[in-house]
Amino acid sequence: MRTNMVKRSLAGIFLVVAMAISGCGGSAGPASAPVGQAVAETEALGLPVNIDAATLNQVRNRDDVVVLDVREDYEFAGGHIPGATWIPLGELSSRLNEIPAGKTVVAVCRSGNRSGQATTLLRQQGFDAHNMQGGMISWEQAGYDVEK
């Protein structure tokens, strides 16, 4: 158990360092990254890097889309988008193999900040990744289904 805690701590530290180096740890997230915007134009669904809850609701049931919830376990248990895959942000870099290759990934958190960081990391690793701005707050405000 102690070994797992050390591994998780190291994975979290790695993620923080990687984001600090790439300049993506701030609250601006990928919205301020014009390079990502250019990449998005060539992707299969033609989605911009940042999408809203309505856009995610339109595409979330497609076979080629994965909704990735990057919140903590208690947040996920409190309510999440139906069918979402759960990998906390602190574990994401060590669990990339759990995300299906070749699919569009939409990252979700509570407000859009952590999912923005996850989107940046995923895009750096070659995933077609997008951030749902406003997170579960905007999802629930829009009245979309929540699974507990």
Mean pLDDT, rounded, for 106-110: 98
pTM: 0.72
pLDDT tens profile 41-99: 335 688 999 999 999 999 999 999 999 999 999 999 999 999 999 999 999 999 999 99
Angle (CA) 16 22 25, round 5°: 45
What is the pLDDT, as a whole number, of residue 45? 84
User: Tell me: the pLDDT tens digits for 123-144?
Assistant: 999 999 999 999 999 999 999 9
Domain boundaries, the chain: 2-141
Superfamily classification of domain 2-141: Rhodanese-like domain (3.40.250.10)
pLDDT of residue 9: 44
Q: Is 50 exceeded by the pLDDT of residue 145?
A: yes
Amino acid letter, residue 50:
N
Which residue, chain included where needed, has tokens 């992707």? Answer: 43
**Which is it for strands 104-108 and 65-69: parallel, antiparallel or unpaired?**
parallel
Are the C-beta atoms of residues 132 and 51 closer than 8 Å to each other? yes
Checking if the pLDDT of 108 tops 60, the result is yes
Phi first, then psi: what are they for 106, rounded to 5°?
-115, 115
Which helix (H) or strand (E) is 131 found in, with range?
A: strand 128-132
